[in-house]
Structure 1
Amino acid sequence: MEKASYLKQNNKIPLLLLPGTLCNEKLWEHQIAYLADIAAIQVGDLTQDNTIEDMASSVLDKAPETFALAGLSLGGIVAIEIMRQAPERVTQLALLDTNPRSPTCAQIEAWNKFIQMSKEGKFTSITKDYLMPGLIRQSSQNSSLSQTIIDMAEEVGPEAMERQMTALMHRLDAFKILPSIKCPVSVMVGLEDSVCPVEMSNELVREIPNSQLTIVKDAGHLSSLDNPMEVSRKLKEWLQQNSLKGA
């Protein structure tokens, strides 16, 4: 079914949201509520596979025929892979706090350390003591937001974390896919993101033909949680502008 006819019959845009590592639908809680009037929303499951390619394939198996797609961090990496596997199914794309490059030696070393910690029964410590400083801005630390992030990690669990980090360690450089993306693309990044800093998003915009950059102030890596209202507002603008173009 063409997007225009879908909009005419249902008055809502099919939207697929992909969370980051150790995250679930809580990462998008504000956006799901804020966009509910214009979007029929589904959150993809990135916990069952241990390669980026299989994650993308699993998401596509459960996705609508055509859909808008937004992913943050790991979700953004999977979203780019979806653009390789089935670009004709994606009507518009949003990449939040995303690194298209293959991992560094330091990242691989850290992920191996975390997998070993998990196997030794120290899973809870990984997010709380190691990851948290890089996930949200300094002023958000030691708040209820930190507890939300810890809760998400516990819900995802150690086995899924090991699969996700294995997928990240073995992912290929997706940079060559970017110039082939034809749909409208919104690239967003938290100004205080130290995991995928602003320059990475600048690089995305330079390589993706029909793209634009939004730098989200007062936000770190998990920008949809750190400054949820701004991210929700920008996603609504992205959905509305591009759905009107396609209608």
Structure 2
Amino acid sequence: MKEHLLLIPGTLCDERLWSHQLKNLSHVANPNVFIPNQGNSIERMAQLLLKDAPENFALAGLSLGGIVAMEVARQAPERVTRLAFLNSNPYGPRPDQLTQWDELINMVKKGQFEDIVEHKLLPNLIHPSRQSDYPLTSTIRDMANKIGPTAYIQQLQAVSTRQDARESLKAIKVPTLLLVGKEDKVCPPPLHEEMAASIKHSHLIILDNCAHLSSIEQPVATTGALYNWLTL
């Protein structure tokens, strides 16, 4: 029987973040997407995933999805067969980040959601060479609009509650993939190198010409890495 695979997208992203993986990993796994757009804490998002998840499953998350995946692994390690953290951050929030997220929440409440997506998120999410890639940028905009401002506020509130996961990562005993874009400014490679040093049975991949949204910036390479991880 094929292994269940749960894929968790990042902030303001939906199943389209994993479109290439959903299509091209279905012969080795049963992939499904859990969108973290309910609950205003990382702990609650993990609880909601576990409530409806299969008894045992492989788990991959990108950015916010990776943070939720770390919490799932902390809450129910016996249910997770393997882990993949893409473009993720194991640290708790910094004071400057909390201030920034409060400012973003205030902007959303003032009706500036589209300005945030266009001028604060897009420039930081994808590689500079892809900023004029209309199919890519339009997908990111469309995902953000589908998730919407209300869920965005919940996601910002949730990430503000995240706990430092570095100690809990040391307890992971299942095969773990760490993947990041070389030019990721949001969750840069040194964070993943640190996680790789803490997690036994981990494998680190750094993708060239890639920033924060690896699964759609470099879909073929990301799918290949996940395939190898699933077939270990």
Query: Smaller-chain TM-score range?
Result: over 0.9
State the match for 1:169 in structure 2. 160
- Correspondence 1:1-247 to 2 at 5 A: 7=1, 12-143=2-133, 144-241=135-232
Alpha-carbon distance in 1 for matches of 2:81, 2:161: 28
TM-score normalised by L of structure 1 = 0.92
CA distance in 1, matches of 2:171, 2:62: 20
SS at match of 2:68: helix
- Who is 1:245 aligned against? none
Q: Please, what TM-score do these two structures have when normalized by structure 2?
A: 0.98
1:143-188 deviation per Cα after TM superposition (whole angstroms, max 9, x unaligned): 2211111111000001100000001112111111011011110100
Structure 1: runs of 5+ lacking an equivalent: 1-6, 242-247
Residue aligned with 1:153, SS: helix
Q: Contact 2:7–2:33 (CA<8 Å) still a contact in 1?
A: yes
**Percent of residue pairs bearing the same amino acid type:** 46
What is the CA–CA distance in structure 2 between the aligned matches of 1:217 and 1:68, rounded to whole Å?
Answer: 26
Structure 2 unaligned blocks of 5 or more: none
Give the partner amino acid of 1:106: D
Equivalent pair of 2:175/2:201 in contact (CA under 8 Å): yes
- Root-mean-square deviation (CA, aligned residues, Å) is 0.8
State how far apart, in whole Å, the 2-side matches of 1:133 and 1:104 are. 21
Give the paired residue count. Answer: 231
CA deviation after TM superposition for structure 1 residue 45, in Å: 2.4
Distance 1:109 1:14 in 2: 38
